[in-house]
Structure 1
């Protein structure tokens, strides 16, 4: 029955239609939990309509561009659905971004309104917005605009118009404005819902910024399957564990770094489940070493399913909890019906409803799609005979040493299994003789002995790695640099830090 219901709901044309249809089905069931607060599906619809009326009174109309930089809160979800009710164009901005990224997003999107949280975690967002010359600045933290829904125009009926501008991380240059529709976001969330096999008895969690593309992706999952999620305004372990236990979370995750964080907490109390109700870790957004999968399953006693997505395509493939251990450890899962994957020159290319409409910059759009309309991902991989996608690295992450291509991911996956390695990033550094040399940057595991380059190369030789791929340099750091969304390692910072040219 739940599969049939979810399938029917996934045909909704717009996010507002999806929220309204779910509210009619299960109005009293909770959808968002935060500390002692509970928002039901019916409450989401009804309160969002009042917020929409308040926004309408401020001058927000269908097509109005509204940027918002808000933390992961119930109020943020209400504001976002209110904007969806109006048919406004939303430009979510990660709350950790500062003047450079925020100013760029406001200018490029031509936002007419900007919602901020006021002073949040010591930073005055309102003052920053005014410093940047933002238009229509208003605070939306505890208090939201309010009005009488009777003044509202009809909800939008078209789900294929661009109503979302998401921003890539901008780790190497200015971020790119990614154009999404309600239907592309629903398609992404439907992929997640189909793969994870969740039920109304589950309790999920949002430990990532709601302003990330994962925000609507996960919310669509909740609307399709009819279960709630716990929202974390600020996620940190072990502090967050009490909320996971209090609400009986059954599904957690976010990305590879989150799996490692939960595993670290589990190791503090072996033999006792760190979250008794937890049965599944799920996520994506960064490569997952196979050994990490096996450690999580073995030590935490839960299943782990990993997927593949990006800002341009929120969900491409996802692991199935009922798949084989080998597939779950070594692949990104299979694509849903309607997602076409083509491998061209080793690059993964995509076409389907979940794929974005392009970028704000038409030149970037033209460069991103091939002549058949497939999005160039920049990721390398192949599809197995069973239809599972295996990622082998990034086009920009191939190290070229003496004319030979070396996959950084292959070396990272092997080193991740070393008992002294907590986390690792392999990068290519400029070298006068070889073009590039292989450098392994390692976070040492807690309590591990000192690690040397001979230790690393000896271990990799024992794992069968070809001699020409062995690292020629080892750097041990206290912590790898990461972004603030899904905790993805920022390799460009490592290249900047260690990238001096070697040679005579």
Structure 2
């Protein structure tokens, strides 16, 4: 990290970081979308005017403001304006509907709710009013798609000075139960973004891209990176390939990605014409949010001619580890990278006792980027020594790299033996008739659980049989007791709309 970026990373609050960057490079661009360009100086000025407009509507320091908006310049302005006031903001993924949205509004006790009106054929305003009517204190509904409140910054109180107060509520996916509201501070988000920026070795000459919902925890993570290094990012309100390629090429994007699913989509497009680079300016794919099969890493590097660095994060800790472009190919392919200074990783047994390097156990975390817990303070988050209990399984190498091998709930117990779903999935990705794979455990009266492989195929390939799949896995060295006993072939695996994670609970419901 450069000296300037390091100094900016010490900012106490998000707004202080915005002000300091605007003072350093006011004329440099920061947000690019379609034909619009916003500089760092304009960002600060516009945010103050929007903050004044929100203040005129009654938003005060500590007011809870929910917003469910797509990835647009206006969304970034609204979010940063709320940091100027010192409001508590709770972003909601724009694809969520009644169940998740009503839960977020009710649990956060939001006083304001910003929506995009009718977006992609869905009337968010109507949903907002419908859900608000059932709350004890209905929030004020604001439409904030292309028009934001405006006012004179002279009315504003001083910006917040305390960066350790919880002012952000993010929501876990809630795929098997109600979502959890995760409490973050300005400092925890700045620490997470600093980790990402430090690992990727970015420069002011880079051009980034935000192709995922800005309402995701990755939104502020990426924004911090822009502010630390002073480079711009292209915003994508809707991401689909090949349509989005025009914007990547027009703006000369050098860093792209988002998650494993994004890597696969770029690779699929590259394979349509292997003779020319898909995005000539691109030098790095980076992301996280879901496991990365080693074979996918090697294929991207080999066929696209770019580096691929993958990291490990979660709503509770936006950036834990990250692969670095100067890591070895083996570490980039088979680990999630290393943690930055200040992030403690402890691998423990079932009772919380620390385990040595190379031994699989539960991953526990402590550091400035870790959240302050959950909105429902009765929900356990930390152990007795203050480490966040993640539910992920992995081990640390002697080099400090973290290798994830699964989740506690993703371990299949077959006849009393533990079977790692991720181990089988990584091997399945080597099969030419497999574009993506999810391995799940299904109830079985004789075995306790049976191993079921669900695969998504590349276009134009014949579906494999169970015998072909098990024969392939045997040849790859998989132990016989881990072989799938059931095979399901789908045109597309079910995914969420944020980082395109596979929703295994839907597969379990379908095939149980």
Could you tell me the TM-score, scaled by structure 2's length? 0.96
**Displacement, 1:397?**
0.2
**Displacement, 1:271?**
1.7
Deviations along 1:99-144, one digit per CA (max 9) or x if unpaired, are: 1110000000000000011111111111111001141111111110
- 1:356 alignment partner, one of 371, 382, 395: 371
C-alpha separation between the residues in 1 aligned to 2:325 and 2:275? Answer: 23
Deviations along 1:273-326, one digit per CA (max 9) or x if unpaired, are: 011110100000000000000000000000000000000000000000011000
The DSSP-based 3-state class of the residue aligned with 1:48 is helix
C-alpha separation between the residues in 1 aligned to 2:280 and 2:91? Answer: 34
The DSSP-based 3-state class of the residue aligned with 2:192 is helix
Deviations along 1:344-383, one digit per CA (max 9) or x if unpaired, are: 111000000000000011111xx22100000000100000
Tell me what 1:32 maps to. Answer: 31
The DSSP-based 3-state class of the residue aligned with 1:12 is coil
Tell me what 1:227 maps to. Answer: 231
1:416 aligns with 2:419: no
Deviations along 1:386-434, one digit per CA (max 9) or x if unpaired, are: 0000000000000000000000000000001111100000000000000
C-alpha separation between the residues in 2 aligned to 1:447 and 1:305? Answer: 30
- 1:176 alignment partner, one of 177, 180, 203: 180
C-alpha separation between the residues in 1 aligned to 2:472 and 2:51? Answer: 59
Choose 441-450 or 50-59, whichever is displaced more: 441-450
Deviations along 1:163-220, one digit per CA (max 9) or x if unpaired, are: 0000001111111000000000000000001000000110000000000000000000
Gaps of 5+ in 1: 500-504
Tell me what 2:409 maps to. Answer: 396
C-alpha separation between the residues in 2 aligned to 1:170 and 1:74? Answer: 28
- 1:407 alignment partner, one of 408, 414, 420: 420
C-alpha separation between the residues in 1 aligned to 2:465 and 2:276? Answer: 34
Tell me what 1:375 maps to. Answer: 388
Partners of 2:64 and 2:90 within 8 A in 1:
yes
Tell me what 1:502 maps to. Answer: none
Choose 447-456 or 31-40, whichever is displaced more: 447-456
**Displacement, 1:450?**
2.3
Tell me what 2:326 maps to. Answer: 322
- 1:347 alignment partner, one of 331, 355, 362: 362
C-alpha separation between the residues in 2 aligned to 1:64 and 1:362? Answer: 20
C-alpha separation between the residues in 1 aligned to 2:58 and 2:462? Answer: 62
The DSSP-based 3-state class of the residue aligned with 2:199 is helix
Tell me what 2:65 maps to. Answer: 66
1:443-458 matches, cutoff 5 A? 443-458=456-471
Tell me what 1:498 maps to. Answer: 511
Tell me what 1:41 maps to. Answer: 40
1:67-106 matches, cutoff 5 A? 67-106=66-105
1:472 aligns with 2:485: yes
Partners of 2:463 and 2:489 within 8 A in 1:
no
**Displacement, 1:449?**
2.4
The DSSP-based 3-state class of the residue aligned with 1:457 is helix
C-alpha separation between the residues in 1 aligned to 2:378 and 2:430? Answer: 42
Tell me what 2:244 maps to. Answer: 240
C-alpha separation between the residues in 2 aligned to 1:496 and 1:449? Answer: 26
Give RMSD over aligned pairs. 0.6
- 2:309 alignment partner, one of 305, 324, 336: 305
The DSSP-based 3-state class of the residue aligned with 1:363 is coil
The DSSP-based 3-state class of the residue aligned with 2:56 is helix
- 1:144 alignment partner, one of 142, 148, 151: 148
How many residue pairs align between the two structures?
Answer: 496
1:111-150 matches, cutoff 5 A? 111-133=110-132, 134-150=138-154
Tell me what 1:190 maps to. Answer: 194
Partners of 2:117 and 2:125 within 8 A in 1:
yes
The DSSP-based 3-state class of the residue aligned with 2:161 is coil
The DSSP-based 3-state class of the residue aligned with 1:358 is coil
Point out 4+ residue stretches in structure 1 off by more than 3 angstroms: none
C-alpha separation between the residues in 2 aligned to 1:330 and 1:165? Answer: 32
